Structure 1
Amino acid sequence: MTAPTTSRPPAGPVPAWRADPYALALRTGRGPLFLRRTDGWLLPLEVERWCAGTDAADESVLSRCRGSVLDIGCGPGRLVAALAGRGRRALGIDVTPAAVTRTVRRGGTALCRSVFEPLPGERRWDTALLIDGNIGIGGDPTALLERTAHLLAPGGRLLVEAAAVEVDERCEVRLDDGRGTLGTPFPWARVGRRALLRHAEAAGWRAAGSWTLAGRHFAELAPAPPRDPGAPATLGSPTPLLPGTPRGPGAPATPGAAP
């Protein structure tokens, strides 16, 4: 596992996600496609699910969206298109032109832009989405959560999907099509439910709720009230918002199932 060399992701598009394996998978609507770690471990990516319509787990996210919605790392745009079809104001951003093209063809609105670049409507979005493992964008979850806070209107909510296993890792990965074609290395992160809460607290968020459906784990985050400097820290305290979360120290960051 290789940690990023900087504490914050660089501004601007992430060239790795323009790599041919990902773009081709989105154009064809099918895999195989993996994230390959430097130690050779592979994380399967669910291209077919991303390119299909929304499922029950997706609908559980969409039902919690309020007002205008920004989908960060929208991929082929199933969530943006579903929101648009319901008359909701929604914008997807993705650094891969093929993802933006597919989103627009599905009836959604999307821009080829990194979340760390200037974006339309900053501080005016009511809901932001980090779904399908996109909490890993840039390899620094805390920095990503801090950036997202600056995109939302006061009282805005962030809906995040956590990994299916308790993991908290930052690593360097490549896209791998399983046939010998590799993309360029880029930083990525994976966080489980407990790790997500730790990063959220560090970035000024609090958990407003959580749920699990079809083996996928989600959390709704809201801006945390300013903390009294003299108040004791609460990090690691038990929380009723994550049923099934084990007590005690979190599990080590070992490879597990796909998020």
Structure 2
Amino acid sequence: MSAPAVPAAPAWAACDPYATALRTGRGPLFLQRADGWLLPLEVERWCAAADAVDRAVLDRCEGAVLDVGCGPGRLVAELAARGRTVLGVDVSEAAVARTVTVGGQALRRSVFEPLPGEGRWGTVLLMDGNIGIGGDVPALLRRMARLLAPGGLLIAETAPLDIEERTEVRVVTPGRDPVGEPFPWARVGTPALLRHAERPGWRAAAQWTAGGRRFVALRTRAASSSAEPPKSTAVISSQRPRNTSADCPVAER
């Protein structure tokens, strides 16, 4: 059987509005559907330091952490400052560059391409709407299961509404023409994500709301450990040389 095709990096990865927003730390920036509907992107929050809600999520992380769609790197930087083993992954060169600047390690690559440490990550993060990557939630969940260690933890931030939408969008700045081709995206609320998690391989571990944001923790079914906020410490990584190439190391576990 041939290997599944790897989705190409979406057009927004190199588009000027997105890269400029990450470099400057300012919006406004939106995802735009074909019908003109706009979803605001919280550029200022993403480019700031991790806030109290973020930090509470990170308290739940176990083992080495992979932040999928790390953006400008606030979560990677926070975990690195705590001495945790953490790697950010993003298709945007600007996102990877900013993550390194703020003190994290990051790799420019699609999550559907081969990644370091596959099958050994203790926690994978899908924050800030990244459950929508690729526009196919079941496919993304299958990929997450292959990245996690047995019994590993997936923490996903869901949409604040009970919604399940698959669409195509572009990144736009008000008053300017869209750049690049449309790319697939999904918006998924907690009920829809939990329905997808009923498929073999996952069990729901926790769900909560904080600061107007909603989260779900899922665990692969290979272990029975608790998903409550762990107190385990990971191998310190903040003293290691930073590397954003394809050979970016992952701690041995």
TM-score calculated relative to the size of structure 2: 0.83
Contact 1:146 1:203 (8 Å CA) reproduced: no
Q: Within the alignment, does 1:186 sit opposite 2:169 as a pair?
A: no
* Identity score, percent: 63
Contact 1:14 1:114 (8 Å CA) reproduced: no
Deviation at 1:60, TM superposition (A): 1.4
The residue type paired with residue 57 of structure 1 is V
Counterpart residue number, 1:73: 69
Q: Within the alignment, does 1:139 sit opposite 2:128 as a pair?
A: no
SS in 1 for 2:194: helix
Instruction: Give a deviation string over 1:187-241, Cα, whole Å, max 9, x none.
Output: 0000001001112223631110111000000011011369xxxxxxxxxxxxxxx
SS in 2 for 1:180: coil
* Partners of 2:81 and 2:222 in 1: CA distance: 35
Counterpart residue number, 1:171: 167
* Partners of 1:204 and 1:43 in 2: CA distance: 32
- The 3 A distance-change label for structure 1 pair 224 and 104 is same
* Partners of 1:22 and 1:202 in 2: CA distance: 35
My pick for the range that moved more, 190-199 or 10-19, is 10-19
* Partners of 1:9 and 1:202 in 2: CA distance: 22
The residue type paired with residue 164 of structure 1 is P
* Partners of 1:152 and 1:162 in 2: CA distance: 20
Q: Within the alignment, does 1:21 sit opposite 2:20 as a pair?
A: no
Count of matched residue pairs: 219
TM-score calculated relative to the size of structure 1: 0.81
Counterpart residue number, 1:100: 96
**Uncovered stretches (5+) of structure 2, i.e. residues with no partner:** 224-253
Matches within 5 A, 1:207-218: 207-218=204-215
* Partners of 1:25 and 1:143 in 2: CA distance: 29
The residue type paired with residue 38 of structure 1 is A
My pick for the range that moved more, 43-52 or 56-65, is 56-65
- The 3 A distance-change label for structure 1 pair 225 and 156 is closer
Instruction: Give a deviation string over 1:84-126, Cα, whole Å, max 9, x none.
Output: 0111000000000000000000000000000000000000110
* Partners of 1:203 and 1:29 in 2: CA distance: 40
The residue type paired with residue 212 of structure 1 is T
**Uncovered stretches (5+) of structure 1, i.e. residues with no partner:** 1-7, 227-259
* Partners of 2:107 and 2:94 in 1: CA distance: 11
Which one of 184, 199, 203 corresponds to residue 206 of structure 1? 203
* Partners of 1:96 and 1:139 in 2: CA distance: 18
* Cα RMSD for the two superposed structures: 1.5
